[in-house]
Structure 1
Amino acid sequence: MKRNSWFNFQNITIFIIVSWLLLFVFVPNFLVLITSFLTRDSSSKHFISFSFNINNYLRLFDELYGKVILNSLYMAVISTIICLVIGYPFAYILTKMPVKLRPLLLFLTILPFWTNSLIRIASIKVLLATKGLLNSSLLWLGIIDTPIRILNTQTAVIIGLVYILLPFMILPLYSSIENLDKPLLEAARDLGANKFQAFMRVILPLTSPGIIAGCVLVFLPAMGMFYVADMLGGANVLLVGNVIKDQFQKSLDWPFGSALSIGLTVLMCLLLSAYYYSNKMLSKKVGLE
């Protein structure tokens, strides 16, 4: 057999990967894209009329859906900021732990992934309930006189998003901080920089790729985690994911649900592009400095 034969391990692997992407990524997304230009027809067997138009995309700018999109962006941004504020010190402290202890701490960090997200959100629901552990503890300590209503609010949804997505912030931050060039920190101290100055001028810029990666990994899923809003926000709080789910399951308006899905996908692509170019610019900046 010739050495350059097509049937080698590399080509077969590429073929499998490309076939997988075509069948389970590009084809489904292409079908969603086509459906987004169709029209809902309640009299049709499949609730779709093959009448192409852009009305579904124009509906995205309606005040009602605009508020939902802005609300989703707001909660995703707040959740990302909270995850960053909690995750950065956690990851930094993790890198300062003894080397033998770090694998155990990393294991405990990713341990929640082994439990179904719905079960974890259900536990948060029990914790935040009017007669839940949080309110009971605050009442027992005398901090409050009456239970605080947390469930079915934006606060509850943000708490749930942070709880689910925090490990996605910690892991890239840990990797970025762990790979810091230690001689640069020593040089900063030798030049008279205190801990705060060393952090702001050396550590923070060098760990920016990890910060950006963590923010992207938290922000993108936070926009579409409809089950978190369903269980913790009730009917009072909606994410874009909730609207998409309702269009397919309740309203049976598949074309508009597809348009919402495409809109969310475009937003995610823009954010990923921003991440790529910001990472590229940061790499050049650090290289020049």
Structure 2
Amino acid sequence: MTKRTRNWLLLAPAGTWFLVMLIIPLSVVLIFSFGERAPAGGVVPAFTFEQYANLPARWAAFKNTMTLAPIGTLSALLIAYPLAYFLAVKVDPKWRTILLVLVIVPFWTSILIRSYAWIFLLGGRGIPALLGWFGIEGVRLINTPFAVLIGIIYGYLPLMVFPIFVSLDKLDKRLLEASSDLGAKPWRTFLQITLPLSIPGIATGCMLVFILLMGEYLIPAMLGGGKVFFVGNALVDLFLQSRNWAYGSAVAVTLVFVMLITVTIYMRLINRLGANRDDVSIM
């Protein structure tokens, strides 16, 4: 057996899985997007751009997704980084495992139950009622973009914490000690050593959270109360309720295209930051 044949055989299982689970479904959705809605629902084969011409009708869903997904990702990063830094650098190793388990404990409970908990906390008998005791009346939190943002941060925070923690945990602590011995202030050590060397973890965490948020359905449906729609909510409506598979496919294809562009720009930015980090480390 030649080396080339052996390589193809090793790649065959993953390649088959990739073809069956990704390429073929996306191809079907792409074909459907050029079709038309059947009278009883579904799709009729055709070749028309009518569905793509109707995309502005779902502009609100795209706007909410492209606004709250980046804000949610950035907010999760701002909260997760200090937590990951504390766990990786400041905590005694004998307590680290226990604290890491506490970070993932929410994942042991269904996101549905956790969202119901936030419905109560943000509803009229939760935080608004507490604020009313202090004379702050008329605060409405549930069924708002703020409620959706809170649910996003809470639901996806562990996915941001762990990649950053891994990067910081692998950080050579001798670099921090050397920086301190050379007279660098803590903030300068952080900006020139800790932060640049943790960029791979930041990139991975942001990528995980952002991609999942782009297709999020449950959190906007429950905490947005039908008033804050994501593209995921629009897809459920088009495929399961309106049964307009052609239009739903066009929306789905557009979402994938937007994600590809966004992720490509993001990865190029990360690669440029990585190159700058290497230049700094050489200097």
Question: Same fold, TM exceeding 0.5?
Answer: yes
1:258 corresponds, among 231, 246, 249, to: 249
Instruction: Kindly provide the amino acid, as one letter, of the partner of residue 238 in structure 1.
Output: F
Contact 1:38 1:49 in 2 (8 A): yes
2:198 equivalent to 1:204: no
Instruction: Kindly provide the amino acid, as one letter, of the partner of residue 65 in structure 2.
Output: S
Shift, 1:109, TM fit: 1.2
Shift, 1:157, TM fit: 0.7
1:55 corresponds, among 50, 56, 59, to: 50
Q: Deviations over 1:189-232 (max 9, x none)?
A: 23322111211222222222222222222222222212111111
**Cα distance in 2 for residues equivalent to 1:184 and 1:286:** 15
Q: Give the secondary-structure state (helix, strand or coil) at the position aligned to 1:152.
A: coil
User: Which structure 2 segments of 5+ residues have no match?
Assistant: none
Compare relative contact order (CA 8 Å, sep 6+) and give the higher one, 1 or 2.
2
**Cα distance in 1 for residues equivalent to 2:140 and 2:10:** 54
Q: Give the secondary-structure state (helix, strand or coil) at the position aligned to 2:93.
A: coil
Shift, 1:15, TM fit: 2.8
Corresponding residue number in structure 1 for 2:71: 78
Q: Which of structure 1's runs of 4+ aligned residues deviate more than 4 A?
A: 10-13
1:130-279 maps to which residues of 2 (within 5 A)? 130-132=124-126, 134-139=127-132, 142-146=133-137, 148-279=139-270
Q: Give the secondary-structure state (helix, strand or coil) at the position aligned to 1:40.
A: coil
**Which one has the bigger helix percentage?**
2
Q: Deviations over 1:16-58 (max 9, x none)?
A: 3222222222111111111111111225xx5322111222222
Contact 2:160 2:209 in 1 (8 A): yes
Contact 1:77 1:219 in 2 (8 A): yes
**Cα distance in 2 for residues equivalent to 1:76 and 1:128:** 20
Corresponding residue number in structure 2 for 1:107: 101
Instruction: Kindly provide the amino acid, as one letter, of the partner of residue 75 in structure 1.
Output: L
Corresponding residue number in structure 1 for 2:80: 87
Corresponding residue number in structure 1 for 2:123: 129
C-alpha RMSD over aligned residues: 2.3
Normalising by the residue count of structure 2, what TM-score does the alignment of the two structures yield? 0.89
